């Protein structure tokens, strides 16, 4: 099986190398064929691995492939840990990536960077697979940074746009903040357990119980809490949790396939996967779990509210991604790791579907992204309309869709939690249901219903996207609609993850839910009578009333009534202004001060110019005794001789 696992990660890498280095020779068709073939091979091998481990009874694979570096004390290996959690992530990553690769043929067909784009997305797939398949922290960090690097390249893919360059720099810098904490956490693990290997680390975890560290006199912190929080800071950056969320909405400057692949289905879920992978560590600290839950709850509610005031179709979906990542994080904080991974999987399908369907709309609208300039598209784009509806229903958690099973489970899990902050988190995710339904169907109604608000030229050319675009939409719509129904039993209540995820009995909220669970059909029927369903329907109903029933009066009336909240939402709570003023402005002020004092005064003034002035002064003084008269030199020589003789006779 080792060759199979190597094939999973190397096939996309070979495709990326060939398309990147020999794209001109391969041409457009050759570039997309070779990269799609590589990802298709990875997907097929991932499915085989899934079958072998889940149904074939293959035991967990945990071996090194080769040693990257070795010292007397440490071995840094490249290896794979393949268990049920890994194979599920492998299938999700390669499956969504394959759909995005196929979709990209139609979306990027006229772009001059066609081959480069395929090389990047294939390289991203390799990086993400290295991250989820790693069996040690060194390889995890390599994949962690590699997906960040490729994300930087893809957000700024259209590098002639100033907004794209600003967005990729912003993403890069914000993620460095999170990655600094992540690296400190790995360093602490290496320092206190003397290993970077997952298995050895888990074996030595009990030795950390009761160990404390002191950062300030008189204040001691539990070591497991410190390590857990440092690792979670990395997750906050990668999975865009408040306050390190500010990069994700701007990342919509990249092409739409990137939004689907990286910023909805895979890279942003790396932090969720990482916390679930290290559940034994996080279970040792209730303080860390409470912190995670509260951060997730704030993100779920307040980032969802920002989706209400967005008019760019991709930004609406981007803020919904932030909100749904908050739901996953809340589940992690409630120790419902399986539910978080379950929602990660369902979200990957329906959110990738929404982004790609939005891309189909953007193609038809000649790259117009403002939903206020759309309307009535259901008549022209029936396939896009139907798939967009499925994705929207899954996003709001309509009973029967995949999002319903995973999202409702998270809400009930946090309701059952007794950890500090659970009550706040429950109300936040519950209110978030109404908010999600409102902004999702506000977007849906403005895009597909009502009178067309586009210009006459665009209206005359409206048509359904080509099959290379719509076929991936249909293929993603199937799991977005059905995967939750079939996956809830094994993933949550049949021990699918086994030893991959560890939960202390006192924190096991899913065990409590299991006692009241009577099957997927029963859950669907019960879901029709819960507050979650009625809140969702209230959100859909209000959006229908405002944007279908009274579109000329109600939106403007609400904007006047809620003028102050709208102003706050339009400013995104001031995070960007604060960052620009304090961090960016402070950095520029510090740099300007260092330039004036250090560069101008010390280096240029004292060292460079000062040295030159000293040499000039000294040379000027010495020049005065260089008269050129012979008798002056003879006189100096005689004085020197007298001095030498005096020293020999009297002073020796």
pLDDT digits (tens, 9 = 90+) for 188-239: 999 999 889 999 999 999 999 888 888 777 788 899 999 999 999 999 999 9
Contact 533, 393 (CB under 8 A): no
Q: What is the pLDDT of residue 306?
A: 93
Q: Which of 364, 274, 351, 277 is nearest to 316 (CA)?
A: 351
- Over residues 108-122, the pLDDT tens digits come to 888 888 999 999 999
Look up residue 120 and give its DSSP letter. Answer: H
Confidence check: pLDDT of 96 > 70: yes
Q: Among the residues of 530-562, which ranges form H helices? A: 531-544, 554-561
Confidence of residue 585 (pLDDT cuts 50, 70, 90): confident
Q: Which of 326, 371, 321 is nearest to 350 (CA)?
A: 321
- Over residues 383-430, the pLDDT tens digits come to 999 999 999 999 999 999 999 999 999 999 999 999 999 999 999 999
Q: What is the pLDDT of residue 593?
A: 81
* Average pLDDT of the residues of the chain: 89
Measured distance CA(607)–CA(445) in Å, rounded = 68
Q: What is the mean pLDDT of residues 452-469?
A: 86
Contact 8, 46 (CB under 8 A): yes
Task: Report cis status (omega within 30 of 0) of the bond before 188.
Answer: no
Q: What is the mean pLDDT of residues 522-535?
A: 92
Look up residue 500 and give its DSSP letter. Answer: G
Contact 577, 567 (CB under 8 A): no
Measured distance CA(98)–CA(128) in Å, rounded = 13
Residue with tokens 């360059």: 165
Measured distance CA(305)–CA(291) in Å, rounded = 21
Q: What is the pLDDT of residue 259?
A: 79
| Tally of helices (H runs) and strands (E runs) in the chain | 29, 4
Q: For 178, what's the count of Cα atoms within 13 Å in the CB-facing half-sphere? A: 29
Confidence check: pLDDT of 608 > 90: no
Q: What is the pLDDT of residue 538?
A: 95
For helices 382-396 and 531-544, give the axis angle rounded to 10 degrees.
Answer: 140
Q: What is the mean pLDDT of residues 87-99?
A: 93
Q: What is the pLDDT of residue 233?
A: 94
For the purposes of burial, counting CB atoms within 10 Å of the CB of 196, is it exposed (0-12), middle (13-18) or buried (19 or more)?
buried
Measured distance CA(520)–CA(543) in Å, rounded = 29
Q: What is the mean pLDDT of residues 547-568?
A: 87
Confidence of residue 652 (pLDDT cuts 50, 70, 90): low
Confidence check: pLDDT of 147 > 80: yes
Measured distance CA(651)–CA(114) in Å, rounded = 88
Measured distance CA(503)–CA(335) in Å, rounded = 7
Helix (H) or strand (E) holding 412: helix 402-416
Q: What is the pLDDT of residue 110?
A: 83
Confidence check: pLDDT of 646 > 90: no
Nearby residues of 448 by Cβ (< 8 Å), 6 or more positions away: 374, 375, 376, 377, 378, 385, 388
Percent of the chain with pLDDT over 70: 99
Measured distance CA(502)–CA(283) in Å, rounded = 8
Q: What is the pLDDT of residue 265?
A: 65
What's the gap between Cα 256 and its chain centre?
Answer: 16
Look up residue 369 and give its DSSP letter. Answer: -
Percent of the chain with pLDDT over 90: 58
- Over residues 284-304, the pLDDT tens digits come to 999 999 999 999 999 999 999
406: its two tokens? 């995973």
Q: Which of 294, 551, 262, 333 is nearest to 427 (CA)?
A: 294
For the purposes of burial, counting CB atoms within 10 Å of the CB of 621, is it exposed (0-12), middle (13-18) or buried (19 or more)?
exposed
For the purposes of burial, counting CB atoms within 10 Å of the CB of 628, is it exposed (0-12), middle (13-18) or buried (19 or more)?
exposed
């Amino acid at each position: 099986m080792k060759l199979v696992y190597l094939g999973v990660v190397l096939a996309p890498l070979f495709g990326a190398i060939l398309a990147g280095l020999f794209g001109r020779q391969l041409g457009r068709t050759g570039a997309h064929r070779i990269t799609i073939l590589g990802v298709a091979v990875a997907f097929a091998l991932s499915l085989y691995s899934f079958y072998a481990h889940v149904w074939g009874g293959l035991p967990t694979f945990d071996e090194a492939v080769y040693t990257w570096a070795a010292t007397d004390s440490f071995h840094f290996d490249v290896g794979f840990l393949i268990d049920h959690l890994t194979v599920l992530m492998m299938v999700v990553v390669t499956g969504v990536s394959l759909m995005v690769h196929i979709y990209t043929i139609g979306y990027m067909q006229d772009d001059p960077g066609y081959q480069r784009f395929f090389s990047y997305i294939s390289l991203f797939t390799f990086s993400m697979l290295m991250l989820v398949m790693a069996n040690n922290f060194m390889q995890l960090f390599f994949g962690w940074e590699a997906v960040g690097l490729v994300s930087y390249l893809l957000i700024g893919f259209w590098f002639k746009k100033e907004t794209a360059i600003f967005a990729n720099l912003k993403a890069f810098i914000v993620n460095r903040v999170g990655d600094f904490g992540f690296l400190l956490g790995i360093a602490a693990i290496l320092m206190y357990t003397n290993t970077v290997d997952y298995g050895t680390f888990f074996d030595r975890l009990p030795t950390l119980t009761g160990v404390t560290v002191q950062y300030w006199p008189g204040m001691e912190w539990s070591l497991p809490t410190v390590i857990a929080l440092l690792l979670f800071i990395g997750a906050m950056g990668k999975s865009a949790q408040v306050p390190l969320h500010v990069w994700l909405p701007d990342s919509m400057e990249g092409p739409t396939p990137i939004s689907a692949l990286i910023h909805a289905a895979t890279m942003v879920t790396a932090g969720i996967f990482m916390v679930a992978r290290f559940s034994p560590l996080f279970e040792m600290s209730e303080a860390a779990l409470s912190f995670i839950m509260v951060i997730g709850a704030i993100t779920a509610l307040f980032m969802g509210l920002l989706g209400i005031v967005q008019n760019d179709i991709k930004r609406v979906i981007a803020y919904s991604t932030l909100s749904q990542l908050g739901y996953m994080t809340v589940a992690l904080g409630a120790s419902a790791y399986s539910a978080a991974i379950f929602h990660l999987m369902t979200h990957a399908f329906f959110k990738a579907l929404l982004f790609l369907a939005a891309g189909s709309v953007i193609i038809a609208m000649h790259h117009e992204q403002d939903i206020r300039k759309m309307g009535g598209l259901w008549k022209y784009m029936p396939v896009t309309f139907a798939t967009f509806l499925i994705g929207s229903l899954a996003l709001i958690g309509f009973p029967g869709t995949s999002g319903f099973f995973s999202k409702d489970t998270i809400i009930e899990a946090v309701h059952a939690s007794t950890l500090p902050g659970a009550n706040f988190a429950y109300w936040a995710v519950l209110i978030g249901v109404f908010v999600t339904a409102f902004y999702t169907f506000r977007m849906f109604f403005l895009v597909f219903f009502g009178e067309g608000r586009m210009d006459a030229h665009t209206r005359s050319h409206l048509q359904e996207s080509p099959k290379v675009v719509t076929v991936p939409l249909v293929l993603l719509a199937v799991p977005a609609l059905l995967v939750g129904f079939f996956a809830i039993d094994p993933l949550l209540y049949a021990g699918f993850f086994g030893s991959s995820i560890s939960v202390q009995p006192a924190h096991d909220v899913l065990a409590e839910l299991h006692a009241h669970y009577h099957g997927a059909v029963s859950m669907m029927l019960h879901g029709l009578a819960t507050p979650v369903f009625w809140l969702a329907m209230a959100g859909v109903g209000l959006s229908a009333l405002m944007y279908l029933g009274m579109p000329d009066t109600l939106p403007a009336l609400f904007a006047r009534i809620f003028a102050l909240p709208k102003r706050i939402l339009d400013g995104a709570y001031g995070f960007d202004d604060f960052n620009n003023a304090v961090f960016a402005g402070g950095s520029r002020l510090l740099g300007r001060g260092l330039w004036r004092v250090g560069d101008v005064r010390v280096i240029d003034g004292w060292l460079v110019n000062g040295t030159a002035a000293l040499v000039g002064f000294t040379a000027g003084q010495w020049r005065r005794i260089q008269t050129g008269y012979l008798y002056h030199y003879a006189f100096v020589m005689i004085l020197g001789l007298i001095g030498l003789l005096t020293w020999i006779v009297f002073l020796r």
